[in-house]
Structure formats: C-alpha cells, structure tokens
C-alpha cells in the first residue's frame, strides 16, 4: 500500500506544476498566449509521465520493504526553468529517496529502472491511442484534441525515459548500469529510438507509418 506524507504530496504537486510549465515554455517559446494554450495539453503528458515515474520508484522500493519518499530539489526546478527558455528541459525537479541501511546493486538497479520503464510504457500507450484516433481527428475536434495530447505525451515520456537512463551523476541510468549492463543498454536503446523518432520523424508521421499511409 502506498503511504504519503503531507510534505511529499506538496513536493509532488509543486514539481508537477513547474515541470509542466517548463515543457510548455520549451515547446511554445516566450509567447505567453501559446504557453497558456499548450499548458493543459502538456500537463497531461507530464502529469502521467512525471508522477507515475516517481511512483514507479516508490512502488518497487516499498515492495522490497523500504520506506521511500519523494523530495523536491529546488535548485533542480530553477535549472529546469532556465533551460526551458533555451528550448530544452533538464528535468531534475527532485527524486524518490529510499531509506535503507544496506541495499544491493541489484535491488538499487531494479528500483531505479522502474521509473524509465514506466515512461517507455506510457509513451507506447500514448502512441497507441494517437494511432487509434488519428483517422477520426480529421472530422472530430475531440479526437483532434486527444491526438494532440497523446502526441505530446509520447514525446515527453520517451524523452523522460532516455534522459533518466543517462549514466550521469545520480540519474537512474548510473544505478541501472552498475547493476546490469545488458538491461541498461537494451532499455536506453528502446528509449533512444522512441525519442529519436519523435524528434526527427514526428508523431504524426510515425502514426501514418503504422497505419500504412
């Protein structure tokens, strides 16, 4: 069973709002109207991606009997906000801290990989939904909105997966790599391909390829 402290819930909400704003700025530039219009769409992708990523870490930690709690990193939020004005987001608003006297590399690796795997799954789910509604998006505003939300959700979640799997500093990738090189290389390759396709081909063209257009 998940248990949350009041400070943890506060930190998750603050991080969610600020990171959503960062991705909106990165995609819309400094146009306030454009930022406000895209923000609700971005919040769905970021909300699912960020919150469930952290809950993935928390779930696996608690499954092994450890107490785990998300804590905000204010400097990371500020840095994310600054980088967003340059067209990208260094998304490190905080992390789930697992409290344990001792932890093997295997358990640490499994806890760490849970978040990126959640993002990969979400990216594929968003892509599947986008594919399902694509044809009707030409005649239905509702379907068009769903397609837009899912396109952003796919792009953001694939990016969050590959970013967190980088073997840098305290990111998830460093712990997964220490645990199992094979699992790390396969996971970051999948996330990298999804992200590369999003950034080069674009979600609509990916969907059209899937549908055989």
Q: Phi and psi dihedrals of 165, rounded to 5? A: -90, -5
Q: Do the beta carbons of residue 58 and residue 95 sit within 8 Å?
A: no
Nearest residue to 113 (alpha-carbon basis) of 10, 47, 190? 190
Give the C-alpha separation, 81 to 139, whole Å: 37
Q: Which of 54, 69, 106, 204 is catalytic?
A: 54
Query: Residue 185: CB partners within 8 Å, gap ≥ 6?
Result: none
Give the C-alpha separation, 113 to 127, whole Å: 21
Q: Is 106 a catalytic residue?
A: no
Active-site residue list: 54
């Amino acid at each position: 069973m998940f248990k949350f402290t009041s400070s943890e819930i506060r930190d998750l909400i603050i991080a969610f709002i600020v990171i959503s704003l960062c991705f909106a700025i990165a995609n819309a530039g400094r146009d306030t109207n454009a930022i406000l219009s895209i923000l609700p769409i971005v919040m769905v992708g970021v909300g699912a991606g960020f919150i469930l990523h952290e809950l993935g870490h928390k779930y696996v930690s608690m499954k092994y009997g450890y107490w785990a709690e998300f804590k905000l990193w204010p400097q990371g939020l500020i840095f994310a906000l600054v980088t967003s004005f340059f067209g990208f987001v260094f998304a490190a608003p905080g992390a789930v801290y697992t409290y344990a006297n001792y932890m093997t590399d295997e358990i640490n690796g499994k806890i760490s990989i849970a978040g990126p795997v959640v993002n990969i799954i979400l990216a594929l789910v968003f892509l599947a939904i986008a594919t399902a509604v694509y044809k009707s998006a030409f005649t239905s505003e509702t379907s068009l909105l769903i397609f837009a939300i899912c396109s952003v959700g796919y792009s953001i979640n694939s990016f969050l997966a590959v970013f967190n799997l980088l073997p840098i500093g305290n990111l998830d990738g460093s712990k997964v790599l220490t645990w199992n090189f094979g699992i790390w290389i396969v996971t970051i390759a999948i996330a990298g391909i999804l992200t590369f396709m999003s950034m080069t081909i674009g979600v609509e063209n990916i969907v059209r390829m899937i549908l055989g257009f």
